[in-house]
Structure 1
């Protein structure tokens, strides 16, 4: 599942750079680029979008107007602002509106990459949560560093095997597939997949789909 992104930026050159960079990251797809706040509002009212990359200073309607509409209409979309606006009132207004991140121009693209990776981690965790949250999952949504806690293990999950697969994931510098985690841990692929799904459910791992030109994506797991 790719994260759908709309870029709202009135400078065509900057918008093109943002679009190419976001599109180059695994798991993201830019579905449209808009040049002012009014176009953004009209689009968001008619389309489902996961994430908006939003400028503040724009013609017709500005980024604050877009944020106000998102809040008033209760649109299920997240926002990362990329703007030159550094005034106290503007920054605080955006933060109170619930933006996921606020990036000042000019910026290093490593900063945007960090913001997108953080968002992707929480997006995937949110999609894999059932009807009710656990405290660790809420902490993750709120950017709190949840401490390791002892959980009551569900039926079919053994502490020894769980620790073994956690150790395997922690020691790997790259995310592992279920097959790789099984091989490294000395357990069956079916067992590894069951434990990985449990770790994903309690937000101890993140899911990083690896997309190929053809075929289904390979799910890879990284320990948090």
Structure 2
């Protein structure tokens, strides 16, 4: 079970974070703090696997807390839950190894995606003795939080996405497929990864984008390569 520490100065948001976290039986909330300094004092002597962390707090911000933890050599993962939109803040947090970044107000679904992403990255690292380029690509560039097949999988949605991908006659990103099928990119990615697991769709990393590499997908004819 993964040990979680929540650091949030808003009692209502803290309660929401705890409720969403403990819906997943793989996680246990160990402690909750309303400021970063108290959290730092506890984390210095107690182990944790994941922080659910706000940015703006009195006394000691979430950014201050992460910087101090990294200076101490801590490798604890962190999911930021915050109203902060500034590019500079996001850049600083990414450099400190933040697992995910949720902007308030967030949905229960998006929160669960953050937890799922943490678990999949942790399990992937735990099972790898040596990493290949493919392993690295999936860890760094894919969206682990959405790789699990969604609950209540709808056959109509699967058929719609298969049809749209087949009609495209080539490779599409999840954003492009979602636009063609009339569903969100998040939904498209979840169903695509389910179809990849079933051998119905092939995926690979496209580095010829002129920018950040992205995952592209193509339909396997008759479900076979």
Confirm or deny a common fold (TM above 0.5): yes
> Which residue does the alignment assign to 1:53?
52
Distance of 2:139 and 2:38 partners within structure 1: 29
1:90-169 mapped onto 2 (5 Å cutoff): 90-130=89-129, 132-144=130-142
- The whole-number CA distance in structure 1 between the counterparts of 2:62 and 2:113 is 22
**Which residue does 2:202 correspond to in 1?**
none
| Count of residue correspondences | 148
RMSD: 2.1
Moved over 2 A (4+): 132-141
1:36–1:61 CA contact under 8 A, matched in 2: yes
Q: Structure 1: how far apart are the matches of 2:108 and 2:89? A: 23
Partner of 2:23: 24
Q: Is the 8 A contact 2:81 2:102 kept in 1?
A: yes
CA, structure 1 residues 139+62, in 2 after alignment: closer, same or farther (shift >3 Å)? Answer: same
State how far apart, in whole Å, the 1-side matches of 2:141 and 2:69 are: 22
**What residue ranges of structure 2 are gaps of 5+ in the alignment?**
144-194, 200-225
**1: CA distance between counterparts of 2:141 and 2:41?**
31
Q: Determine helix, strand or coil for the equivalent of 2:4.
A: strand
Residue number among 185, 195, 198 corresponding to 1:170 in the alignment: 198
Shift in alpha-carbon separation, 1:113–1:61, aligned structure 2, 3 A: same
Q: Whole-Å Cα distance in 2 between the matches of residues 15 and 3 of structure 1? A: 18
- Residue in structure 2 matched with residue 219 of structure 1 by the alignment: none
d(CA) in 2 for partners of 1:133, 1:65: 32
Q: What is the aligned partner in structure 1 of residue 155 from structure 2? A: none
C-alpha distance in 2 between matches for 1:26 and 1:140: 25
The TM-score, its normalising length taken from structure 2, stands at 0.61
Give 1:58 deviation, angstroms: 0.7
**Is the CA contact (8 Å cut-off) linking 2:20 and 2:111 kept in structure 1?**
no
**Structure 1 range deviating more: 114-123 or 133-142:** 133-142
Aligned counterparts, 1:26-41, within 5 A: 26-41=25-40
CA distance in 2, matches of 1:54, 1:85: 12
Tell me if the contact between 1:37 and 1:58 (Cα under 8 Å) persists in the aligned partners: yes
Note the residue ranges of structure 1 that are not aligned, 5 or more in a row. 146-166, 172-224
Give the C-alpha shift of residue 144 in structure 1. Answer: 4.0
Q: Quote how far apart the aligned CAs of 1:96 are.
A: 2.0
Distance 1:135 1:43 in 2: 38
The answer to whether the 8 A contact 1:122-1:140 is kept is no
